[in-house]
Each structure stands twice: as C-alpha cells, then as structure tokens.
Chains A and B, each alone.
Chain A
C-alpha cells in the first residue's frame, strides 16, 4: 500500500526567505508524485509533478521539487517566498490508474 508523510504540519517563514516543505512516500512500485496547493477558500491547484526523467522538476510560481528515490522523498522548495504563497500544500502519490493518496498537508504562513 502507498502512503505519504508530510513531516511538518505548519511552516512559518518571513517574506523573501527560502522554504522547504518535506514529503516522504512509501510504495513498492513505481509511482507518480505531485504537489498541490490550496489557497484560502479555493480549490486544489497543481504546482508540479514528477513522472519520470530528470529528478528536479520545476513548477508554477517559482517552486521546484526534487525526487530522491533512495530516500523516497519529494521535497518542495522555493528560494524566496512571498506573502501570496501563504496556503496549504499537499504532497500526493499515485500509480497509473489509481486515485491520489495525499499527505495531511503543510500550512505555509509567510509574514512580513
């Protein structure tokens, strides 16, 4: 069975600081990995995805994530955050033809 662990439930940072949101997964087969963002009172929006190939994937709004197979991790990073990045971030895993398994989410709070 697959599972996703987001290691931090809340991450407070100051504006323009770098941030890393951690995600570990477990699966016995090859998977696809995703990060979704949910802004306050809005739906889920895809930030980026890893399917295959280069382990460093770039997404929208300056975010990137690195797939590390040996550590079964898919951490999300941004070198300089903005107030507008305040949101909840979800890491998710799926195999072909199955539903997404989500982590519990990480609330990123950016303050000035």
Chain B
C-alpha cells in the first residue's frame, strides 16, 4: 500500500519568507509526527498529533513554527520568517497507535529545506 508521502521533496527559499511543508500519512494511521534532521543536531522531535487530542507541541523550537492536521489526515508544517538555521530535512511519520505495535512509526522521504 501507499506509504507516507511528503511534498515538496526540496524547497529553497529566501531568509524571511514563509514556507509550508505537507505530509500525507498512511491511511488509517491515527498518529502523525514531525521531526527535523540537521547536521550536528541529529533527529529532533517537533510536534505530534494523535486523533482529536490537542497536539504535543513540546518540540517546536520557536513560535515561528506551527502545524495543523486537517480531518485527522493531511498535515501542514508552517515555518514563518525562515532563518538560515531552519535549513534541514523535515521528516513526517505516522503510526497506528497500538501496544502491540509499540507505536511503530513509518517515515516519509522528507522535505529538504534550504534557506538562503
């Protein structure tokens, strides 16, 4: 079946511009996660959606970052007034919350963001 998809695959933007990154999770997965992968920082958790519950935003690095998940499916990560330090690969993952699967997360290919 279809995996997690992300768009665009690459995004180059100028400092100060806003960007939107999109994630389509696996159908039926109730949980959706955003992570950031950058040199020197490894993989960092950003935000987590589970069903209709309030999202866990504890990983967002600043108030320039926000995310929405509409209809319990597609999610958009928005970065306002981008800075050069925002350059990274943004990864989305989804999972079917179950103790039997241990919340195994399936990752998309990522969006490589470059801020000039």
The residues of A with any CB-CB pair to B shorter than 8 Å are 32, 34, 36, 42-46, 49-51, 90, 92, 94, 96-105
Q: Find chain A residues with CB under 8 A from B110 CB.
A: 43
B45:A99 contact, CB within 8 angstroms = yes
How many Cβ-Cβ contacts under 8 Å join chain A to chain B?
60
B77 contacts A by Cβ under 8 Å: no
Q: Give Cα A12 to B53, complex, Å.
A: 45
Q: Shortest beta-carbon distance, B12 to chain A, in Å?
A: 17
CB neighbors of A among B70-113 (8 A) = 91, 93, 97, 99-110
A101:B45 contact, CB within 8 angstroms = yes
Q: Give Cα A34 to B86, complex, Å.
A: 27
B43 contacts A by Cβ under 8 Å: yes
The residue on A at minimum CB distance from B56 is A99
A97:B97 contact, CB within 8 angstroms = yes
The residue on B at minimum CB distance from A100 is B105
A32:B91 contact, CB within 8 angstroms = no
The residues of B with any CB-CB pair to A shorter than 8 Å are 33, 35, 42-45, 48, 50, 56, 59, 91, 93, 97, 99-110
Cβ-defined partner of A100 (8 Å) among B33, B50, B56, B109: B33
Closest 9 CB pairs of A and B: A32-B102, A102-B43, A44-B107, A51-B102, A99-B45, A43-B109, A104-B42, A99-B48, A43-B107
Q: Give Cα A92 to B103, complex, Å.
A: 12
Q: Give Cα A42 to B45, complex, Å.
A: 19
B102:A94 contact, CB within 8 angstroms = yes
A42:B109 contact, CB within 8 angstroms = yes
Q: Find chain A residues with CB under 8 A from B108 CB.
A: 43
Q: Give Cα A92 to B104, complex, Å.
A: 11
